[in-house]
Structure 1
C-alpha cells in the first residue's frame, strides 16, 4: 500500500470552483451530483457565482473523454481497467504497481455473466441512454442477477468503494464512539470534503454520514486512522472483499481516489453493496436525505442542527476565549436518486478522472428490492442516477433472472444453481424513518442557506492547502 500521496496539481487552480460545483447546487437548486462535473450539460442549475465546470477539468483531458462510451469489442478489460489519463496510479519512487488479481477460470454468477455483452432476460428492455461500460441489476434480498453488461470487466470504482470502507468500520468501531479530531487525523485528506476540522468531536455514525452522504474524503481519512492507519485499513478492506468473493477487486486507497492497481467490477461491487446493506446503520445512512453535522472545534455554537428546525444561517463566530467556531450545518445526501425516484432506498456516487462516473442505486417496489451498479460511465445523454433509474425500471418490469451473486470466495458458476445454500440468512437491513417525504429536494431548497454555510466550511479547509483532484 502506498502512503498518502499528493496528486498532480493540474486541478489546484480549480479547487474552490470544484467545491462549489459539488456543494453549491445542493444549497441553491436541489440535491447536487457531488463533484461530478456536469460535462456537456446545461449549467442552468448552477449559481451565477460558480465558475464554469470546465475549470475543474484537467487541462490535458478533453470533455470528449468523459462523454464517450467505450468500445467493448473483444472484452478488453477482463484483466486490467482502461489506461489512466493522469499520473495518480504511478507508483512512488522505489515502489511498484501490484499485479492484478488472477482472472478466475470460471467467473462467478452463472454462464450468462461470462461475457462483456448485455445479459438480460426476455422482457428486460435495455435503455439506450445507459452508457456505463459495466452495469448490473440485482435483487438485494435473493442475490439474483436480473441483467448485466460486462459484469466481470475490471474498472475503477471511485468513491462507491466507500461502501466497503463503511462495512469495515461498522464491523470494527462502535457507532456511538466519539472521536475528537486532530490535525494528524486529517493528514492526507484531499478531494471532496464534508467539512471536518481539528478540535471537532464526531461520533463514528456522524463520520459515516459524512463519508456516505457527502463522500467526504476527510471522513474516510479520520476513520482509517481510528482503525490503525491508512495502510491497515486498506488491508482490512481487501480482506473483507476477498471474504465476500469479490475476486477481481483490489483496493488501493480508503477513499476511492485512484492509486496503483485500483480496480473492481460491477459484479464485485454488487456483492459489496449487498453485504453493506445487511448493516442497519449503513442502510439508514444511505437512505437519509438530510442530516445535521457538527462544526468545530467542539463546544458552544458547534452542535449539529436539526434539519427540520435549522437555525438561521450564520457565519463563523468567536467565543469568549477568542477561538473561532465553525458552526454545524445541514448535510444533504448527494445521491439524487433519493429525491427523484419513487421507492429509492440508498446508494453511492463516485467520480475520478480515471474511473469516470460510477454509481450505485437501490429502490423498493411492491416488496421487491433491487440495486444497480454502474462503472465507467458518462453523464451524456443522462446523469448516472438517471441511467440507474432507467435500469431499475427495466428490472422491476421483469421477474426473470440471468444469474446470481454467489456468497464467499472460490465458488464456481455451477454453485449458482444451489440457491438455498447461497442466499444470505435473514432479511437484509431496512431503511430507518430518517428519509424526508418531500420529493425533488424541496427540503434542500428550504435549508439552502444553511447548506451553503457547510460548503463555506469546506472551502475554508480547502484554503488551508488541500489539493483537489475532482472526484467522488
Structure 2
C-alpha cells in the first residue's frame, strides 16, 4: 500500500515538474490546470494617411520577441500596439512606427506604441555613446584627429573634422550632438578607450555593457554613430532609459540646448573655421524644450529622442521609424507627443522606466538572490538557467519522496511561487 502511494506521488510530481520545465508538456497537463485567459487584442497605433516613401530598402530582420524582455517595466508594455492609461486623452496620430512618452524624473510611462518592438536607431544611438563616455572625457582637453576617425559611410553625416587637426573634447561633443557628426562619434569613441587603433571597438563594447546595465536589453550597438550595421537594434523603451542618463548630465544638457557652435580653423591643414547649427529645431519652437537628438538613415527612417518641461513636470519622448513631411519633421512629431503627454494626469501610468538597480544581477549563491528575483522578475539569464534549476529540484524531490517524505503539497505550493515579471510600481 505504501509503495503504491509513493508511486502515485512520484507520478504526480513528475507531471508537475515536467510541465514546469518544458513548454511542450503544458498541453498535456491542461486538464489538471485552469485555462489561462486569452491575451487581449492589440490596439492599433493611430497613424495619419501619408504617401509611402519609395526606394526604401527592406528593414533588417529583428531578433524574436523575448517574453521576459518585452515585459520589462510592466506587463502592459508587452505589446506591438498602443497602450495608454484609462481615461487619458486619445493620443495623436503620428507616422512613427514606435514611440514612448514618460516622466523624465519619476520614470512613469504615460503611453507608448510598441515600446519594446525592435527598431534600427540611426543617429539617436549617439545618445548611448554619450551615456557611456561623456563623464570619462575632459571637455577642455585638446585632442588630435587621426585618419581612421573619418572612416565613415560615404555621404553620411559628418561635421568636417580634419586629420591632424586639433579640437577640444567639448567641440567634438557639439559636432556630434548638433550636427550629428559620424566623424566626431568615431573620434570620441576612440579617445574614450585610450586612443588606440581598437578604441572604437572597445567603446562599442562598453556601450553594449551600458545598455545591459540600464535594462535596455533590446539595444545592441554595432557602430558608435548609429550608422546601420548588422544586428544593430534598439527600442523606444530603451531609448527613454538611455535618455534619462543623458539628461542627468549637465554637459549633455548644455550641448543639446546649444543653437550654434563654431568649428575652429586648422591653419596647418589650411582649413578655415565654420559655424554649425543644431539640427533639433524643437529647441527653437517648443516652449520648455530641454534638447534632444535626431537621426536618419534610409533603413531606419527618422528617429528622435528629446525632453521638455512644463509646470514643474519634465517628460521624455522617443520616436523610431517615422516618416516626415515638409511641414512636420521628426522633432515636430516629438513635440506633438510631448503635448499629449503633458495632458495625461500626473498619477496616470502604464508602466515604469526601470532603474539599473532593478535589473542588476545578483550572484546566485548569495542569500538575497531569491528575494531579488522575486522582487524584480526573471532576467534573460535566469530564464535560460531555469531548466537546470528544475533538474536539481526534481532530483531532490524524488529523493525525498522515495525516503517517505510527503512533499507533494509542499512542492506544489512552491511551484506557485515562480519569479514574477516586472510590474509597474
**Bin of the TM-score, shorter chain as denominator length:** 0.5 to 0.7
The match for 1:403 is 351
The match for 1:164 is 128
Matched, 1:83 2:59: yes
Matched, 1:272 2:218: no
Superposition pairs of residues 240-255 of structure 1, within 5 angstroms: 240-255=210-225
Matched, 1:224 2:194: no
Instruction: State the Cα distance separating 1:330 from its structure 2 match.
Output: 2.1
Instruction: Report the 3-state secondary structure (helix = DSSP H, G, I; strand = E; otherwise coil) of the residue aligned with 1:136.
Output: strand
Alpha-carbon distance in structure 2 between the residues aligned to 1:357 and 1:391: 15
1:285-318 CA distances to partner (integer Å, 9 max, x unpaired)? Answer: 1121122221324xxxxxxxxxxxxxxxxxxxxx
Let me know the Cα RMSD of the aligned residues. 2.5
Matched, 1:151 2:115: yes
Alpha-carbon distance in structure 2 between the residues aligned to 1:324 and 1:266: 42
- Equivalent residues of 1:183, 1:198 under 8 A apart: yes
Q: Taking CA–CA contacts closer than 8 Å with sequence separation of 6 or more, which of the two structures ends up with the larger relative contact order?
A: 1
1:52-87 CA distances to partner (integer Å, 9 max, x unpaired)? Answer: xxxxxxxxxx833669xxxxxxxxxxxxxx734xxx
Instruction: State the Cα distance separating 1:332 from its structure 2 match.
Output: 0.9
Q: Unaligned stretches of 5+ in structure 1?
A: 1-39, 42-61, 68-81, 90-97, 298-322, 419-472
Choose the corresponding residue for 2:336, options 375, 382, 390. 390
Choose the corresponding residue for 1:202, options 164, 167, 170. 167
Superposition pairs of residues 286-297 of structure 1, within 5 angstroms: 286-297=256-267
- Equivalent residues of 1:137, 1:392 under 8 A apart: yes
Does the C-alpha gap of structure 1 residues 99 and 154 become closer, same or farther in structure 2, counting only changes over 3 Å? closer
Deviates more, 1:232-241 or 1:114-123: 114-123
1:152-197 CA distances to partner (integer Å, 9 max, x unpaired)? Answer: 0000011001001012221322222210223244344651011111
The match for 1:64 is 54
Alpha-carbon distance in structure 2 between the residues aligned to 1:398 and 1:109: 19
Number of residue-to-residue matches in the alignment:
307
The match for 2:410 is none
Matched, 1:108 2:72: yes
- Equivalent residues of 1:197, 1:295 under 8 A apart: no
Query: Quick check: which has more Rg, 1 or 2?
Result: 2
**Which consecutive aligned stretches of 4+ in structure 1 deviate over 3 angstroms post-superposition?**
64-67, 98-103, 187-190, 410-418
Alpha-carbon distance in structure 2 between the residues aligned to 1:273 and 1:205: 19
Q: Give the structure with the larger helix fraction.
A: 2
Instruction: Report the 3-state secondary structure (helix = DSSP H, G, I; strand = E; otherwise coil) of the residue aligned with 2:279.
Output: coil
The match for 1:214 is 179
Choose the corresponding residue for 2:100, options 105, 116, 136. 136
The match for 1:263 is 233
Q: Unaligned stretches of 5+ in structure 2?
A: 1-49, 194-198, 361-375, 378-419
Instruction: Report the 3-state secondary structure (helix = DSSP H, G, I; strand = E; otherwise coil) of the residue aligned with 1:350.
Output: strand
Alpha-carbon distance in structure 2 between the residues aligned to 1:374 and 1:392: 11
Alpha-carbon distance in structure 1 between the residues aligned to 2:69 and 2:161: 45
Instruction: State the Cα distance separating 1:404 from its structure 2 match.
Output: 0.9
**Normalised TM-score (structure 1):** 0.61
Does the C-alpha gap of structure 1 residues 327 and 182 become closer, same or farther in structure 2, counting only changes over 3 Å? same
Superposition pairs of residues 266-415 of structure 1, within 5 angstroms: 266-297=236-267, 325-380=270-325, 382-399=328-345, 400-408=348-356, 409=359, 411-412=376-377, 415=422
Does the C-alpha gap of structure 1 residues 327 and 361 become closer, same or farther in structure 2, counting only changes over 3 Å? same
